[in-house]
DNA sequence: GACCCGTGGGA
DNA sequence: TTCCCAAGGGT
């Protein structure tokens, strides 16, 4: 049905001209877009919601208005600004990509898919998106939205991810020769607002007359997906080592892997058979640390491949140095490259710093030490290194502390 | 293809 | 509560 394929482009572009979302990284209709802004937004939007990206996009653009500014920045500044957004390899690749643009491409983005694809952090989707949106190239842009829309439009019943080649081919057939960038964003807007994963709003859809799934009544069942195994549980102990001057001990994660390059509180490895009752094992580098360990609560955190329970211990010490660690004032934690997981831990650090530890002086009836730390997690997010970034990030309240303990629990 | 890699919001 | 999912990329 090649006629149908030709109708999709005009129908969708017409809809896009009337209903496109207004987003900070989008240029005005018809205006040229800044490749740097397009690239930055595309990297941030990988597996990340528009709402989560907005404040980070604004902060980055304010701090580093051009790719040269970004390339000149220390990686750690970028990690600090990225903290909380997740998938931190994106930030490392962002930095590497900016440097490659400056060092190998004269400070300009390659205007074609092949050139873009060779840069760190730019895969098939992002290369196509930048080529189409920023450079007006005809490219087949396929992300999760596009896959869903194509699966429904063409009633592809083969489950993902096996159906990918078929869905890419469908997008290729439907992509017009001109306004490719607008078309790609139109499909994504449609997927985000109408052709949604659950209960699609077909009555509002500009493609309703062209949609095979709708015709067959399959729209709610597509795309099919192979189901995923549930995530395992892991646990560990994390230590807030604090001095009387209000400093706590932190260290950097290894440069690659989980939370690579980010700041953390020293902790044991996170294992599947962590025993909370067991005496807390000192992390590598803290072997000389002496008790008493004061259990101050637990932190729950969901990650992509496992769920983590961290048992938090506070330890007072006068030792001046620990292998691979550094001291930092509790008040300065907000400016650190702390991932959200560690910001949850950081909540327990506040109030531990005074000479008369509040832990020893606030008797509470509650026998439980475990504290709920859930959705209202720590927005201890940072002011920005260079600019004074938008102050939508700020520390909130302190967690309530459980019963006081002054004796070693281990 | 299979895994790894974060986080927050909605149903 | 639990599960799903969001403008994916790297290995």
Chain B positions within 7 A of any protein Cβ atom are 1-9, 11
The pairing of beta strand A233-242 with beta strand A307-316: parallel
Kindly state whether residues A206 and A254 are assigned to the same domain: no
Kindly state whether residues A8 and A102 are assigned to the same domain: yes
Kindly state whether residues A250 and A344 are assigned to the same domain: yes
Distance A407 CA to C4 C1' (A): 44
User: How does A172-207 read in b/e, with b if 16+ C-beta sit within 10 Å?
Assistant: eebbbeebbbbbbbbbbbbbbebbeeeebebeebbb
Distance A57 CA to C3 C1' (A): 29
Tens digit of pLDDT for each residue in A11-23? 999 999 999 999 9
- pLDDT at residue A302 tops 80: yes
Q: How many folded domains does chain A comprise?
A: 2
Kindly state whether residues A193 and A240 are assigned to the same domain: no
Residue nearest to nucleotide B3 (CA to C1'): A305
Q: Is residue A390 part of a domain?
A: no
- pLDDT at residue A360 tops 80: no
Report the range of poorest mean pLDDT among A215-224, A230-239, A315-324: A315-324
Better-predicted residue by pLDDT, A288 or A379: A288
CB A86 under 7 Å to nucleic chain B: yes
Kindly state whether residues A143 and A241 are assigned to the same domain: no
- pLDDT at residue A367 tops 50: no
Which among A309, A151, A292, A276 has a CA at the least distance from the CA of A219?
A151
Cα(A59)–Cα(A68) distance, integer angstroms: 16
User: Given pLDDT bands bounded at 50, 70 and 90, which one contains residue A274?
Assistant: confident
Kindly state whether residues A207 and A240 are assigned to the same domain: no
CATH of the domain at A247: 3.90.79.10
Distance A217 CA to C2 C1' (A): 28
User: Given pLDDT bands bounded at 50, 70 and 90, which one contains residue A356?
Assistant: very low
- pLDDT at residue A213 tops 50: yes
Exposed/middle/buried for residue A225 (C-beta within 10 Å: 0-12, 13-18, 19+)? exposed
Q: Of chain A residues 89-108, which have a beta carbon within 7 Å of strand B?
A: 89
Residues of A annotated as catalytic (active site), given as ranges: 42
What share of chain A in percent tops pLDDT 90? 76
Q: Is residue A254 part of a domain?
A: yes
Query: Helix axis angle, A124-135 relative to A180-193, nearest 10°?
Result: 120
Chain C positions within 7 A of any protein Cβ atom are 3-10
What is the reported pLDDT for A390? 28
Partners of residue A295 on adjacent β-strands: A313
CATH of the domain at A25: 1.10.340.30
Residue nearest to nucleotide B7 (CA to C1'): A86
Tens digit of pLDDT for each residue in A36-73? 999 999 999 999 999 999 999 999 999 999 999 999 99
What is the reported pLDDT for A280? 67
Kindly report the average pLDDT of chain A as a whole number.
85
What is the reported pLDDT for A350? 84
Tens digit of pLDDT for each residue in A98-112? 999 999 999 999 999
What is the reported pLDDT for A230? 84
Distance A85 CA to C5 C1' (A): 16
CB A84 under 7 Å to nucleic chain B: yes
């Amino acid at each position: 049905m090649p006629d149908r394929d030709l109708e999709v482009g005009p129908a969708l572009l017409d809809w896009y001209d009337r209903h496109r979302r207004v987003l900070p990284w989008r240029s005005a209709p018809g205006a040229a877009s800044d490749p740097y802004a397009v690239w930055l937004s595309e990297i941030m939007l990988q597996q990340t919601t528009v709402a989560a990206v907005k404040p980070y996009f604004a902060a980055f653009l304010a701090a580093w208005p051009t790719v040269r500014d970004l390339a000149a920045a220390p990686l750690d500044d970028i990690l600090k600004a990225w903290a909380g957004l997740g998938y931190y390899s994106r930030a490392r690749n962002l930095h590497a990509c900016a440097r490659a643009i400056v060092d190998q491409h004269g400070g300009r983005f390659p205007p074609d898919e092949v050139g873009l694809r060779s840069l760190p952090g730019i895969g098939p989707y992002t290369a196509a998106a930048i080529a189409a949106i920023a450079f007006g190239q005809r490219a087949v842009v396929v992300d999760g939205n596009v896959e869903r829309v194509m699966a429904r439009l063409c009633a592809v019943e083969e489950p993902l991810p096996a159906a990918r080649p078929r869905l890419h081919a469908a997008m290729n057939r439907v992509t017009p020769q001109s306004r490719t960038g607008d078309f790609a964003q139109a499909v994504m807007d449609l997927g985000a607002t109408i052709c949604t994963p659950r209960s699609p709003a077909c009555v509002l859809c500009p493609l309703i007359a062209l949609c095979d799934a709708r015709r067959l009544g399959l729209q709610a069942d597509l795309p099919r997906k192979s189901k995923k195994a549930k995530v395992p549980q892991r646990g560990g102990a994390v230590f807030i080592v604090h001095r009387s001057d209000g400093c706590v001990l932190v260290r950097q994660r290894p440069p690659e892997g989980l939370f690579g390059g980010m700041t953390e509180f020293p902790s044991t490895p996170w294992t599947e058979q962590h025993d909370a009752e067991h005496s807390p094992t000192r992390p590598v580098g803290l072997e000389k640390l002496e008790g008493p360990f004061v259990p101050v609560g637990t932190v729950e955190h969901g990650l992509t491949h496992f769920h983590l329970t961290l048992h938090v211990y506070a330890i007072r010490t006068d030792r001046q140095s620990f292998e691979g660690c550094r001291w930092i004032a509790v008040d300065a934690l907000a400016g650190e490259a702390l991932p959200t997981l560690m910001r949850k831990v950081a909540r327990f650090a506040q109030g531990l710093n005074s000479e008369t530890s509040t832990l020893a002086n606030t008797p509470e009836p509650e026998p439980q030490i475990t504290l709920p730390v859930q959705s209202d997690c720590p927005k201890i997010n940072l002011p920005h290194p260079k600019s004074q970034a938008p102050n939508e990030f700020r520390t909130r309240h302190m967690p309530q502390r459980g019963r006081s303990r002054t004796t070693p629990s281990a």
